[in-house]
Amino acid sequence: MKKIAKSILVFVLVASLLSGCGTSTKSENEASQTSKEGVVTIDFWAAPNPPQQTFWKQMAEEFSKVNPNIKVNVSPMPETPSSEAGIQAALAGGNAPTISENISRGFAAQLVDSKALVPLDSMDGWNDIIKSRNMEDTIQAWKFADGHQYVLPIYSNAMLFAWRIDILKQLGYDEPPKTYSQIIELGKKLREKYPDKYLWANPDLIDSTWWKRWFDFFMLYDAASNGNKFIEGNTLVADDKAGVATLKFLEDMAKNKLLLTQVATDPFETGVSVWTTIGPWTFGTWKDKYPELKLNETYVLTPPPVPDGMSTNNVKTFADTKGLVIYAQSSLEKQEAAMEFIKWVYSNPENDMKWFEITNLPPARDDVNTNEQFKAYLKDHPELQLYAESIPNAIPPFDNVKFNDIQTLIGQKAVNPVVAGQIDAQKAWDDMKQAVQGVLK
């Protein structure tokens, strides 16, 4: 009996100790966050980079001044081992924030599949945001397969290519080539004159990590297919002709030894290669590290190249774009407060202007090129002009829940073996299609 009593005592002690290790439950959290005065506190997870955190902290402060009943707590989202895993862990533990930004369409599709997101279009105020932010056209491409809108896109980077025009001029070019055959021809001339230089230095071409396909395959495919979808719902609807042409272009570059797949330090900046994919976030780094790189003097920006015979006007490209979501796990009161905050931020174009100035990422609006405020800013930052102009031509990533597997297969079955010279473009495309269809079943 004494033994049993002792065991129970030990169990109770250990249990109390363990309970102390746990976090408070969701309801306790919520109770503590909605004070007696009726102030609703919402948690906002910002992308783990200083400019975006600065912007959202500023917004939260200004919002709280005019809406004292809602308090927005901005904190960086956990990024170890990845921001997606951080959100997954928070959802699993019942500690998800009310809102977070930095959500791609693919990840959003996974969250939607797990019923973790609130369909924003079903909330009061959604239409006001779309109208006041002038994004009726942009938002169309963000509709999910079930017809709902779960993500409010914040920025849209129409990914571009940069050319070292100073080196191209040494080869006799006044402007960069626009079609596949013109590029191959330029590459051959480059290698002949400068055997140590390459057309495109990109080790990602032999890496099957899923997101790397955004910045090689999808940029080229979106251009070659004139924006034809790759996946629609749960069906592979890719344009075969454009897909094979894209892979053939990579195959031709590899065969002519125009690609450097070895790791190189800043190859474009140091002139090891003359061509690279580029996003607007690069210019901040260049300003500090490579001030000698000047637009139209040392480099120029272009949309992706297209297959021979295709129009080189209004060329489509991949949109590196992310947005914010509201989590279904939070209470209705918090969801509504979150919507109020979003509505307040995007009712004033000044706030999008602040975003543009702080982050260099073009806001996902239809009027970036026509609104006077943005026009004035772009005049002072000509390197961002083409990004803003290309927004209507930018295709966001597909929203399938298996996006990670599918994009890994595009690497493993198509891009990687073609660049390594293991198989030809047609076989790679067929293998990739078969594998992707297997995943979609």
For the bound state, the minimum distance from the C-beta of residue 188 to other proteins, rounded and expressed in Å, comes to 19
Among 270, 314, 348, 434, the residue binding other proteins under the rule CB under 8 A is 270
Distance CA 243, CA 235 (A): 16
C-beta separation of 177 from 315 below 8 A: no
What one-letter code names the amino acid at 153? P
Contact window for other proteins (CB under 8 A) among 44-52, 87-95, 127-135, 370-378: 87-95
Q: Does 33 bind other proteins (CB under 8 A)?
A: no
42, 59, 74, 116: which one contacts other proteins (CB under 8 A)? 116
- CA 79 to CA 276: how far, in whole Å? 27
> To the nearest whole angstrom, how small is the minimum distance from the Cβ of residue 272 to other proteins?
5
Query: Binding of other proteins at residue 440 (CB under 8 A)?
Result: no
Count Cβ atoms below 10 Å from residue 290 Cβ, excluding itself. 16
Binding track, positions 140-179, relative to other proteins; x by CB under 8 A: ----------------------------------------
Q: The dihedral of CA 362, 367, 372, 376: what is its sign?
A: positive
Q: What is the smallest separation between the CB atom of 182 and other proteins, expressed in angstroms? A: 26
Query: 338 φ, ψ to 5°?
Result: -60, -40
Total binding residues for other proteins by CB under 8 A? 39
Please select the residue that binds other proteins; options are 145, 206, 423, 440, rule is CB under 8 A: 206
**Of residues 224 and 401, the one with the C-beta less far from other proteins:** 401
Instruction: Return the structure tokens found at 404.
Output: 């990670």
| Token pair of 348 as six digits | 């004033």
Q: Does 203 bind other proteins (CB under 8 A)?
A: yes
The neighbouring-strand residues paired with 320 are 157
DSSP designation for 118:
-
Q: For other proteins, which residue of 4, 18, 66, 332 counts as binding (CB under 8 A)?
A: 18
Q: What is the C-alpha to C-alpha distance for residues 25 and 95, in angstroms, rounded to an integer? A: 8
Site for other proteins contains 8 (CB under 8 A): no
**Binding of other proteins by 79 (CB under 8 A):** no
- Which residue, 275 or 356, has its beta carbon nearer to other proteins? 275
User: Does 262 sit near other proteins (CB under 8 A)?
Assistant: yes
Helix axes 240-255, 425-440, angle to 10 degrees: 130
405 binds other proteins, rule: CB under 8 A: yes
Specify the stretch interacting with other proteins by CB under 8 A; choose among 69-77, 202-210, 363-371, 381-389: 202-210
Nearer to other proteins (CB atom), residue 89 or residue 237: 89
- Which SS3 state, helix, strand or coil, does residue 430 take? helix
Question: How far apart, in Å, are the Cα atoms of 249 and each of 182, 183, 300, 357?
Answer: 11, 9, 22, 37
Omega before 51 within 30 of 0, i.e. cis: no
- Smaller CB separation from other proteins, 91 or 386: 91
Q: Could you give the string, one character per residue 180-199, with x where binding to other proteins holds by CB under 8 A and - elsewhere?
A: ----------------x---
> Are 103 and 117 spatial neighbours (Cβ–Cβ below 8 Å)?
no
Rounded distance, CA 439 to CA 434, Å? 9
- Interface with other proteins by CB under 8 A: which residues? 14, 17-18, 21, 81-82, 84-85, 88-89, 91-92, 110-111, 113-116, 196, 201, 203, 206-210, 260-265, 267, 270, 272, 404-405, 416, 420
